[in-house]
Amino acid sequence: MIARISGRLEQVSGAAVLVDAGAGVWYEVLVPACDLERHSRKLGQETVLHTIHYVEGDPTRGNLTPRLVGFLAADDRQFFRLFTTVKGIGIRKALRALARPVGEIAAAIQNKDARALAMLPEIGKRLAEQIIAELHGKVEAFAAAAAAPQAEMPQAAAEAVAVLVQLGEKRPDAAALVERVLAVAPDASSAEQIIQHAYRLKAGGG
């Protein structure tokens, strides 16, 4: 199973991105609608995607095709797996439906806000109610992470948080770690310096 891909983001096309993983290997990865703009801003840069590997097609006709779905955060991948357990929501529909950040959708589910869910692409009123019926009470962690107050951060610090999340940190943990760096190393002025300090702190260094 392919669980994570890192490499240079070469192309954003339709609902997919193309990642050059090196050694002549290029991966086409389907991504949620809400991430397309963020990917477009990172063309030519290094990226990390937390992936789900699945097979698409009709086995009775022998036209099975392996596919990859990729997420900028491991928590988003976890939510997607939960979201696609709802009856009537397949992989492709879920990718189109996630036109808003995962935290917002989780909060709507937790608040039983069927109207907000029905506004998502391809969901509608009936499916929104089905999502709430099946997932309410299971998405508190995703909603809480989105609702946690975030202090205003310098641009470099915000970028460092985003990179740490891509590398597998939970967003609240990444934000807390960066806040610690800002407190002990106020001279760290770039995302790279902040990340270096963050990993030193995790390792028990100063």
What is the structure's pLDDT at 149? Answer: 47
Task: Note the CATH number of domain 74-146.
Answer: 1.10.150.20
Q: Is 124 exposed, middle or buried (0-12, 13-18, 19+ CB in 10 A)?
A: middle
pTM: 0.72
Provide the angle, in degrees to the nearest 10, between the axes of the packed helices 171-184 and 155-166.
Answer: 140
Domain 150-202 matching CATH 1.10.3470: the answer reads no
pLDDT digits (tens, 9 = 90+) for 36-56: 988 998 899 889 999 999 998
What is the structure's pLDDT at 205? Answer: 58
Give domain limits for the chain.
4-71, 74-146, 150-202
CA–CA separation, 199 vs 180, rounded Å? 11
Residue 18 has pLDDT above 60, yes or no: yes
pLDDT digits (tens, 9 = 90+) for 60-103: 887 889 999 999 988 999 999 999 999 999 999 999 999 999 99
What is the structure's pLDDT at 90? Answer: 95
CA–CA separation, 190 vs 195, rounded Å? 9
User: Which has more pLDDT, 33 or 179?
Assistant: 33
Residue written as token pair 């801003």: 41
What is the structure's pLDDT at 124? Answer: 94
pLDDT digits (tens, 9 = 90+) for 157-203: 888 888 888 888 877 788 888 888 888 888 888 889 999 989 888 88
CA–CA separation, 53 vs 67, rounded Å? 6
CA–CA separation, 98 vs 17, rounded Å? 16
Residue 153 near residue 161 (C-beta atoms within 8 A): yes
Domain 4-71 matching CATH 2.40.50.140: the answer reads yes
Length of the chain as a residue count? 206
pLDDT digits (tens, 9 = 90+) for 100-151: 999 999 999 999 999 999 999 999 999 999 999 999 999 998 887 665 544 5
What is the structure's pLDDT at 158? Answer: 82
Residue 153 has pLDDT above 80, yes or no: no
